[in-house]
Structure 1
Amino acid sequence: MGLAAKRVVVFDDDQDLLTIFRFLFEDAGCVVESFSNCDDVVAKVKQAAPDLILMDNWIPSVGGEVAVKLLKADPDLKRIPVIYISANNDVKEIAARAGADSFMPKPFEFDDLLSMAIELVDKSSHQ
């Protein structure tokens, strides 16, 4: 199906990465909304109504792991796929603990991230 007209929310406090994510997903036809902190993460995601969430591990103030747990605990949001992004060596374990749908270690290839995003969005739209 692809990502055209899909809504992507990015949580990352690195402005350079936010710019890259915005360019990458807007180029794929998405509407992108970004946040540099995960305060009020549930309210932000409900307001944005995304098809996909990218979550950085080291994001103020509670961190990505707690933020994803909050999202996955909400019955209205738990089906939205989350890609956990981190430079940590144990990103796979952190993503699993958080309940993320997938993970992407930094640094990453743009094509790999887009392929993962398409796969997760397609899968969630068929649930």
Structure 2
Amino acid sequence: MADTKKVFVFDDNRDILDLCTFIFEDAGYDVKTSESANEIEEQVAAYMPDIIFMDNWLPDLGGIQATRAIKNNPDLKHIPVIYFSANNDISSLAEQAGADSYLSKPFDIAAIEAMVKKHLG
């Protein structure tokens, strides 16, 4: 049995977190969620996910700063970060943040699963 892939979702919207948990667990992944990006490096290092979904609007530390912190950390920067947001300019936000890819909200289940498969092989 291959190791179960781990997905970490950061979003301040509990409904989105619940939805993502349902989608990813249903697809056979381990899922961890967080409503804040505080101590982002510690949160990520403690779980060491295979992929991260990062919302733009997070309390305190926003998605851009959180993504940059991950990408500036030598132990974490290899983890793909998918920026997801309802912003019109999500592509430029994702680029500013240094994210590996982005997904617009609202997303459909097929799109989010395809994004994970693309980055996890």
TM-score > 0.5, shorter chain as reference: yes
Q: Could you tell me how far 1:108 is from its partner in structure 2?
A: 1.0
Task: State the alpha-carbon separation in 1 of the partners of residues 61 and 116 from structure 2.
Answer: 24
Q: Could you tell me which residue of structure 1 aligns to residue 61 of structure 2?
A: 62
Q: Deviations over 1:102-124 (max 9, x none)?
A: 000111111011101111112xx
Task: State the alpha-carbon separation in 2 of the partners of residues 39 and 50 from structure 1.
Answer: 17
Give the paired residue count.
120
Instruction: Return 5+ residue gaps in structure 1 as ranges.
Output: 123-127
Q: Could you tell me which residue of structure 1 aligns to residue 38 of structure 2?
A: 39
Instruction: Return 5+ residue gaps in structure 2 as ranges.
Output: none
| Greater Cα offset, 113-122 or 62-71 | 113-122
Q: Could you tell me which residue of structure 1 aligns to residue 98 of structure 2?
A: 99
Task: State the alpha-carbon separation in 2 of the partners of residues 26 and 109 from structure 1.
Answer: 16
Q: Could you tell me which residue of structure 1 aligns to residue 110 of structure 2?
A: 111
The alignment yields a C-alpha RMSD, in angstroms, of: 1.2
Letter in 2 for 1:71: I
Q: Could you tell me how far 1:61 is from its partner in structure 2?
A: 1.1
| TM-score after normalising by structure 2 | 0.96
Q: Could you tell me which residue of structure 2 aligns to residue 7 of structure 1?
A: 6
Q: Could you tell me how far 1:5 is from its partner in structure 2?
A: 1.1
- Map 1:68-87 onto structure 2 (within 5 A): 68-87=67-86
Task: State the alpha-carbon separation in 1 of the partners of residues 92 and 80 from structure 2.
Answer: 17
Flag as ranges the 4+ runs of structure 1 deviating above 4 A: none
Identity of aligned residues (%): 44
Letter in 2 for 1:120: H
| TM-score after normalising by structure 1 | 0.91
Task: State the alpha-carbon separation in 2 of the partners of residues 65 and 39 from structure 1.
Answer: 13
Local SS of the residue matching 1:85? strand
Q: Could you tell me how far 1:20 is from its partner in structure 2?
A: 0.3
Local SS of the residue matching 1:103? strand
